[in-house]
Amino acid sequence: MSASPLIEIKDLRIRFHGDDGRITYAVDSVDLSVANGATLGLVGESGCGKSVTSLAIMGLLPKQSAEISGAIRFDGFDLLKTSDQTLRDLRGNRLAMIFQEPMTSLNPSLTIGDQITETILRHRGGSRRSARERAIELLRRVHIPSPERRIDEYPHKLSGGMRQRVMIAMALACDPRLLIADEPTTALDVTLQAQILELMRELKAASGAAIILITHDLGVVAEVCDEVAVMYAGEIVERAPVDELFSTPQHPYTVGLLGSIPRLDHRAEQLATIEGMVPNMMRPPAGCRFAARCPFMLDACTKAPPPLVEISPGHLSRCIRAPLERLVS
Amino acid sequence: MALLEVKGLVKHFVAQRSLFGRALAHVKAVDGVSFSLEAGKTLALVGESGCGKSTVSRLVLRLIEPDAGTVRFDGRDLLSLDAAALRKFRREAQIIFQDPYASLNPRMTVGQILTEPLALHDLVPPSQRRERVAEILRLVGMEPRLERRYPHEFSGGQRQRIAIARALAVEPKLIICDEPVSALDVSIRSQILNLLRELQDRLGLAYIFVSHDLAVVKHIADHVAVMNLGQIVETAEADALFAAPRHPYSRALLSAIPVPKPRAKRSRIVLQGEIPSALTPPPGCRFHTRCPYVAERCRSEMPQLLPDGIGHATACHRTSELPSSEAIVPVDGGFSPVLEKLVAAFSGGPEAVRGSGVSSLGTDPA
């Protein structure tokens, strides 16, 4: 980790206030940082808070219902305290995001050219013609064939993989410093997934932007990330360099996740399963949030929330039984 | 004799009609597909979206009518069955869909959902149906008392269990699983995969498993058929295919599997270009527009699916000339030694850990 990370999240907490007065504790005490040019994987299952965290970074959570505290430092700003105007200047410019569903995040009534040039004109100004040239250049960079022709097409004319590439082109329009990609390949076939991952790697090498990759696919994480944060029930339960996470995970939840993926190399009769269900986030448990599903649980686990502790340099775990090796040696 | 034998299946959907209803354009969804499946075995159909794998699974059940070809199930010609006989057949072949949120009637309780097939096929006398429902629920790992609940009260994984229970209610010989775990989270997915496997062992079920997740396919399938634009391009035993895929399309597909191992050894083949439209599939080999090994002949002449001595069939003119495919499938190396032990302990439950002589260490939290 370099001395001054590009983005630093400190003690981020997000609560949603429902119409009925009930509170959902979506994200709790999340600390994260990403260095320039690094890729952080944010992993977890549906509802663990990974997408909400990214929306908080982008300032896209609804003001009426979301109560956010903590700090998100990016480029000299605290994103949680900046004005809407400043946020608008940052978004699409130094801070960009790619969403999972390219069909719903592109405007169906505008050509892809209109949508890309809009971003360029908003942040960079200049003439329409130069913006259009830049847009064509961007489409070429994401390997869209005959971009001069494609630029005047509407999103529905493009295949899923092409649309995702348009989304990426748009995100790259102003050379962002940080790119947040929320499940960018989940809706795609493996062959297209391979193309998009290759493209993201290429672009990272070329631009030096940092990437936060949100995904539930540990295979994708292993391929593109330098560091990984595993989230469970609104908390980060483990953070580690990618190699260590896959070789010596230090949180039982991570062990369960890794054990539950079918492997190509050996045909296990039974895959590991994580019994039980995620806790109700309106009443998160007092102790460790994973305790009820954890085969390594002790009485102490349910008494107090475990802190996120460094087990080895750069490897943190929110489990009082870590290092886990000693449980099986 | 094979349980299911499919020969020369063809289905073209009309994509566009003239003012007077004449068909102007067809989507060649399935174009000459043949395969067979033994009782108690799993055949996986894999390929990209739009390759026709879901259409094949529906044709096999006669949920849609084919334009040509034959389907023989347990010796009977499916396509000649009348309505009554077809209904009888439906008892023997069932389907599970991808989205358990859409495939269960939200207005029916679990009990009603599971009783319906029993009543329709008059399998169990009314007085014993409750008992049978309880039995089926236990079979899929759910408690019988849950029968009074509605689908919305369950998580995605539980709903998929209910969908499986409904399919099992009529004691079928074949279940078509159309992307049954694609909509589920990783940890839930493994529960459903384990369940499908266990039920197969216990009940001797045959599965047609439609999926785009190749690691899952490797885990569950005995045979695999790789489809591209409505045709099977390669079919083989799962182990043989994953050890050495032959068709250039299978090679690209398998080389792209993301594996949970950083810096895994791989030689990824990234296909260039787009998937051609099924409205106007390319002439000759339908893969030739994206194939890195394309030759002149491929552009005009359609290759036949030719089996070798051990039943590994490939539809490619250049099968014998292609480079070795040994290092194509990424090597994930399995678990690290520590992870192996941890996963075993995790799966063994509390006893496995507490009984492993670590309690003296484990009781003092760091």
φ/ψ of residue B268, rounded to 5: -65, 135
* Four-residue CA torsion sign, B275, B280, B286, B289: negative
Single out the residue of B89, B88, B83, B87 nearest to residue B71, CA to CA.
B89
Q: Which residues contact A31 (CB under 8 A, 6 or more apart)?
A: A9, A10, A11, A12, A236, A308
Residue the block writes with tokens 């560091």: A227
Query: Which pLDDT score, from 0 to 100, does residue B7 have?
Result: 95
Distance CA A249, CA A271 (A): 17
- Chain B partners of A297 at a C-beta cutoff of 8 Å? 350
Is A119 within 8 Å of A126 (Cβ atoms)?
no
Nearest to B194 among A258, A273, A328 (CB): A273
pLDDT score, position A2? 47
Position B352 scores a pLDDT of: 53
Cβ burial, residue B40 (10 Å; 0-12/13-18/19+):
middle
A143 has a pLDDT exceeding 90: no
Option in A259, A268, A327 nearest B362 (CB): A327
**Per this entry, what is the length of chain B?**
366
> Is B346 within 8 Å of A145 when comparing Cβ atoms?
no
Closest chain B residue to A278, measured at CA: B155
Cα dihedral sign, B354-B358-B360-B365? negative
- A138 touches A175 (CB < 8 A): no
Q: Is B155 on the interface with A (CB under 8 A)?
A: yes
**What is the nearest CA distance from B116 to chain A, expressed in angstroms?**
29
Which DSSP string corresponds to B165-185? HHHHTT--SEEEEESTTTTS-
pLDDT score for A307: 95
C-alpha B96: how far from its chain's center?
Answer: 10
- Residue A287 in contact with residue A305, Cβ under 8 Å? yes
> What pLDDT score was predicted for residue A1?
45
Q: Work out the average pLDDT over A309-313.
A: 95
Q: Which residues of B68-86 are buried (b: 16+ CB within 10 A; e: fewer)?
A: ebebbbbeeebbebeeeee
| Residue A31: pLDDT over 70 | yes
Least CB-CB distance to B189: which of A198, A248, A260?
Answer: A260
- Beta carbons of A321 and B362 less than 8 angstroms apart: yes
Q: What is the pLDDT of residue B328?
A: 86
Residue A61 or A193, more confident: A61
- With CB atoms and an 8 Å threshold, state whether B185 touches A46: yes
Beta strands in A75-172 (DSSP E): 77-78, 95-98
- Bridge partner residues of A31 (DSSP): none
Phi, psi of A318 (to 5 degrees): -100, 60
ipTM over 0.90: no
A-chain residues within 8 Å CB-CB of B338? 247-248, 325, 328
Among A176, A172, A55, A170, CA closest to A110: A170
Q: Which residues on B lie below 8 Å from A307 (Cβ)? A: none
Instruction: For A179-192, write each residue's pLDDT tens digit.
Output: 999 988 877 778 77
Query: Across all residues in chain A, what is the average pLDDT?
Result: 90
Q: Report pLDDT digits (tens) over A274-293.
A: 988 888 888 989 999 999 99
User: Which helix (H) or strand (E) is A168 found in, with range?
Assistant: helix A160-171
Q: DSSP letter at B276?
A: P
Report residue A209 as tokens. Answer: 């932007």
pTM: 0.88
Q: How confident is the model at residue A165 (pLDDT cuts 50, 70, 90)?
A: confident
Q: Which residues contact A161 (CB under 8 A, 6 or more apart)?
A: A188, A189, A192, A195, A196, B274
pLDDT tens by residue, A62-75: 988 999 999 999 98
> Using CB atoms and an 8 Å cut-off, which of residues 210-229 of chain B contact chain A?
212, 214-216, 218-220
Q: What is the pLDDT of residue B272?
A: 78
Q: Give the span between the Cα atoms of A92 and A109, in whole angstroms.
A: 20
Q: Which among B49, B334, B338 is the nearest to A263, CB-wise? A: B334
pLDDT for residue A199? 82
Percent of chain A at pLDDT > 90 equals: 60
Within an 8 Å CB–CB cutoff, is residue B348 touching chain A? yes
Q: What is the structure's pLDDT at B218?
A: 92
Cβ within 8 Å, pair B260-A277: no
The predicted model gives A148-160 an average pLDDT of 89
DSSP3 helix / strand / coil % (chain B, rounded to 5): 35, 20, 45
What are the mean pLDDT values of chain B's consecutive 10-residue runs (366 residues total)? 93 87 86 94 91 91 93 92 91 90 92 93 90 93 91 88 93 94 85 92 94 91 95 95 94 90 82 80 92 94 92 93 86 84 82 42 35
Phi first, then psi, for residue A24 (nearest 5°) are -105, 125
**How far is residue A57's CA from residue A32's CA, in Å, rounded to a whole number?**
11
Q: Please provide the distance, in angstroms rounded to a whole number, between the alpha carbons at the two ends of chain A.
A: 31
Mean of the pLDDT values across residues A229-236? Answer: 96
Chain A hits for B274, CB-CB cut-off 8 Å, are 145, 159, 161-162
pLDDT of residue B70: 94
Q: Distances in Å between the alpha carbon of B107 and those of B16, B103, B104, B116?
A: 37, 12, 9, 13
Q: What is the pLDDT of residue B350?
A: 54
pLDDT for A184 equals 85
Give the residue carrying structure tokens 């997740």.
B213
Q: What is the chain A residue with the closest CA to B50?
A: A189
